[in-house]
Structure 1
């Protein structure tokens, strides 16, 4: 380095110290103490840096001197530092992070028919009266004695929304030839034991008297086919009116959410009972013969008869006569046997009384004998409807 360069560099160092040091705030006692501690460690490094700076020539040194000086960093406070505020109460140490444990598996509630028949179960109480067992009882596959809980049908599906399958069973409390029925849902607890979730629906003394089928939809709705009247005692199953009703599990019980809630009148649920008096003919001055038959028709069933067809099997010589035939919807037959009279609706428990007049023309041969008086229920299409008790729909009368 030439003497001229050395002199110029010295002048720049002097000017730098004059300009920069005037901007620096004198540090407090704490900063002085820290500087003293660090000075010894930095002495050697500072000397080496200065030598390298001088060796690189005036251009590098000039660039370093002309760059903006870095902003001074924070300094320690001159006073005694105040302690940090403490959190009231004890603080538990944080646990070391662990991998999240998987959720406990939901028990599988799919129970096969064989498993259900082999496992003691508890059933919701039957309606008052039936004495079939309900606690720690075994279901049976076929009826073999009275007071037996018979497993009739099974269905499977997630009915409670827990992501696992439950078992839906149609159970019949067999008492003699009849007995109530109910649909029950079974599940398993965490230990694998069969438990009872609840009852979906049960038969009633009125309606429904019969449960015929059960299914489970993918959305968890339990669908039960119910019928108004149970078969037996002369009532065939095909006469029963059937409906599908849907039930959903909510708030700890099953409630109906779909389907009808009542039945309309069953066309077979009537029992027409007929009584009639004998026909005794009197001879009039013109030689004709007249008489009356009093017919009483009572509906002793639980359902109405839409129409009633009355037939009287008297000889063709005896023809309808008088105002007693006014309630008939049709014109009474006057030329052929039997005489008919179609009547309007007859509700359950109601009855109709008719006093029907007959006349035989002068010279007509009537004789004497017996005749059938018969009353039959009809539907809205005027088709005959069968009854359970048809023996009381017909009586015989004498005519003379």
Structure 2
């Protein structure tokens, strides 16, 4: 520049000074201003990215589910203040908890008509019933039949309830198989499979397991099954008043039904007592032209307890009365019985009574002669006859045929 013309140098210097006064150079203040601006832009970008990372999965999941509803408040994202502590270390192999949904169990409510219209498998019958013809495989159940050894629906109403705790209802029915005047019975649970077919869940209980009849069935809200059972079937001449009933409860354990409450056996009937009969006899000819003989029997009745017998009856009198204690007998009772019998005043527990009866019997045994005997029975105050606790000592036989 020292070689330049002095006038030209002056003009260049003036031009430079003029330009410097027009333009702000990049000094410290300008640098700090630019840095603050860049930091603000970076923070906004980071916050926007965080929101996208949080909202994107929610929107994606809603799209996959086809869920057009707005998130409930518990699912809404709320801004939180930044934590000053370090975030916890995630547990290895940890996965977020989720509710697993399973398909709904099929509705097992089955009508009587639907069950009769299909073939079903039945649980096994008591021993001897299958040999007689009570089938269990692919059975088409019948109703209102008097045929023997045919599986059928009993008249008991169907019951419904969630027996296996799957959230759906199952059906309980009483199935029977007649073997005479009485029938074997079992309570069977039925359901539907996923295809809607009727399937057998299992047997709740059956006769032959310590009782002979099923009287009623109920289902409780907890899925337990209440069955009213009876020790005998009042048929074949057996009076209804002899029947005893119990309520037993059963429940499904995942594999089978088992008893969970109620008595497990009937035991001895507390209404019965133990009568015992002993006899002495004498057989002599009748004086005169009568060819018959006179039979005198002395019968001793002992009540071994535990109950008093309000009345007793002695049976086996087949011939003409000829003396003794006949006047002590109730005449109405003798007329109403098939075999001539004598209804007498009862014997208290622990005591004995002796009775003498004289009859005129044939002098010589005829072609229909057979061993004759006597037996004693306990009666209550209503003239109802009851079985004996020990039947073997309730009867005695004559040592000859008449």
Calculate the TM-score normalised by the size of structure 1: 0.53
Determine the structure 2 residue equivalent to 1:145.
147
Tell me, which stretches of 5 or more residues in structure 1 are unaligned? 1-41, 52-68, 74-93, 282-290, 320-336, 347-351, 359-365
SS where residue 261 of structure 1 aligns?
coil
Residues 274 and 201 (structure 1), Cα distance of their counterparts in 2 relative to 1, 3 Å cut = same
SS where residue 113 of structure 2 aligns?
helix
Cα deviations across residues 334-356 of structure 1 (Å, max 9, x unaligned)? xxx9985725379xxxxx9x8x5
Separation (CA, whole Å) in 2 of partners of 1:228 and 1:304: 21
Tell me, which stretches of 5 or more residues in structure 2 are unaligned? 1-24, 40-56, 66-98, 285-294, 316-320, 328-341, 362-372, 389-393
With 172-181 and 211-220 compared, the bigger mean Cα shift is at: 172-181
The answer to whether residue 177 in structure 2 is matched with residue 176 in structure 1 is no
The answer to whether residue 376 in structure 2 is matched with residue 375 in structure 1 is yes
Q: CA deviation at 1:219?
A: 1.6
Q: Retained in 2: the 8 A contact 1:306–1:378?
A: no
Cα deviations across residues 78-121 of structure 1 (Å, max 9, x unaligned)? xxxxxxxxxxxxxxxx9x64438964121000000000111110
Separation (CA, whole Å) in 2 of partners of 1:273 and 1:198: 47
Residues 342 and 292 (structure 1), Cα distance of their counterparts in 2 relative to 1, 3 Å cut = farther
With 100-109 and 232-241 compared, the bigger mean Cα shift is at: 100-109
RMSD: 5.1
The answer to whether residue 113 in structure 2 is matched with residue 109 in structure 1 is no
Q: CA deviation at 1:386?
A: 1.6
Q: Retained in 2: the 8 A contact 1:276–1:294?
A: yes
Determine the structure 1 residue equivalent to 2:127.
128
Cα deviations across residues 189-242 of structure 1 (Å, max 9, x unaligned)? 11111111111111117x311111111111211111100011222113342101
SS where residue 344 of structure 1 aligns?
coil
SS where residue 180 of structure 1 aligns?
strand
Determine the structure 2 residue equivalent to 1:82.
none
Residues 318 and 119 (structure 1), Cα distance of their counterparts in 2 relative to 1, 3 Å cut = closer
SS where residue 140 of structure 1 aligns?
coil
SS where residue 216 of structure 2 aligns?
strand
Determine the structure 2 residue equivalent to 1:164.
168
SS where residue 161 of structure 1 aligns?
coil
Determine the structure 2 residue equivalent to 1:265.
268
Q: Which has the larger radius of gyration?
A: 1
Cα deviations across residues 108-155 of structure 1 (Å, max 9, x unaligned)? 000000001111100111122112110110111212422211211211
Calculate the TM-score normalised by the size of structure 2: 0.52
The answer to whether residue 219 in structure 2 is matched with residue 216 in structure 1 is yes
Separation (CA, whole Å) in 1 of partners of 2:297 and 2:110: 67
